[in-house]
Amino acid sequence: MLDLIPSLGPWMPRLAGQPFAVATIAAASGSVPRPVGTSMLVTEAGEVLGSLSGGCVEGAVVALAQEAMDDGGTRLEAFGFSAADAFAAGLTCGGELDIHIQPVPPAVPGEAGHPLRTALRHLAEAGPDQPVALVRVLGNPGGGAVVLQHPATFRLAASPGLSSLLHGEAVLQVESILRSGGTGLVRLPQPGGCPPDRGGRDRHLGPGEQAILVESRLAPPRMLVFGANDFGAALVPAAKLLGYHVTLVDARPAFASQPRFAAAHQVVADWPHRYLAAEAAAGRTDNRTVAAVLTHDPKFDIPLLETALALDFAYVGAMGSRRSHLQRVAELLSAGVRPERIARLHSPIGLDLGAVTPAEVAVSVTAEIIAARSRTASCLPLSETSGTIHPHPIPPQPAPAPAPTDFDRQEIAWT
């Protein structure tokens, strides 16, 4: 449901005092358009906020939501591809979805109200980059829900409502999902402690099964762009598109103060290695932080890379030719940086896309950062290839003859 946060504010007046239903992807397998946790709101009047499949099953889900609002019962419906019935609501992509539908009755003056109604109100107040999490019980007629702030430091003992439901491995699963900023389904044992029989559909909910749906959003990861030059100016907006909080750093105030870097969330005029060391010491970097070293100047690069490679960053890349990379490695070794740390350096920076212009290099760098998360075999970084980095353009051919912290918790209306 966190995917709805940007649109919830204007929608809350429509939900005030009126019944509505929340349809959520509880489980998914195969090729599906949207991930687990994606939600859609349906009002009594048939208004819809959000999308679950890009159109494949929305009509059927709206009809089920109307039924749930009429009788007050939750629904769990499975959707998949049906070759037997061409007119059945299903996924043409061949995947399978479990859609959980929770009706929310009208608000009654003087009463606390349904937990999901209260949770939605607090989610609507969340800022665009504010860490927040939503934990829900699926399969419970009461629709228990709790909103947590600062999920990265969450401990289950701080929430009596949750801790009464979860035990053993489930506790570790919920805390892990919350602290990682992810989304996941944690199943609860049925009476007798036996796992439900799902007929081989291990990734899907079974009839009558209760589960905890955890959605967590951490503060945006940071990208530190070192170098107030043409390549830095192109990388800043590209990094913002990926959701990074972008800081541009350069030791030369006259360069860093140029208007073309105003798109960065923060511009800092300081020696790069000194700035990075201070940020790390203050706890403002973590294992999601990305560092792109574009200064291409040894007096900045070497001390900066010594500092960066000592930290457990998600990605450290440095611009330069293959010759400058070899010189850089030799200097880092001489400075005492361990070879296994140097092996984490992406240099020359970027994927081998044939990029030449600053804008193309920005695409190359962001592509490598994305690829570094999953390391797909088809994406080869320049640091793992050989040959010319910038191939000579092919001359045009004659025309033929015509014929794209501390834990700060807010627990709300848990039932």
Residue extents of the structural domains in the chain = 2-190+210-217, 222-384
Query: Tens digits of per-residue pLDDT, 348-364?
Result: 999 988 999 999 999 99
What pLDDT score does 200 carry?
38
What pLDDT score does 162 carry?
72
Task: For CA atoms 115, 182, 124, 3, give the dihedral sign.
Answer: negative
Q: Please, which pLDDT band fits residue 92 given cuts at 50, 70 and 90?
A: low
Distance between start and end Cα atoms, the chain: 18
The side-by-side arrangement of strands in the sheet containing 75-79 is 48-49, 39-43, 20-29, 96-104, 75-79
Higher pLDDT, 269 or 93: 269
Cis peptide before 109 (omega within 30 of 0): no
CA nearest to 292, candidates 337, 229, 334, 338: 229
The side-by-side arrangement of strands in the sheet containing 245-250 is 266-269, 245-250, 222-226, 290-293, 315-318, 345-346
pLDDT of residue 233 exceeding 90, the answer is yes
Query: Tens digits of per-residue pLDDT, 278-329?
Result: 999 999 999 999 999 999 899 999 999 999 999 999 999 999 999 999 999 9
In this structure, the number of other CB atoms found within 10 A of the CB of residue 19 comes to 19
Angle at 296 between CA 240 and CA 256, to 5 degrees: 50
Candidates 3.30.70.20, 3.40.640.10, 3.40.1080.10, 3.40.50.720; correct CATH number of 222-384?
3.40.50.720
Q: How far apart are CA 284 and CA 249, in angstroms?
A: 15
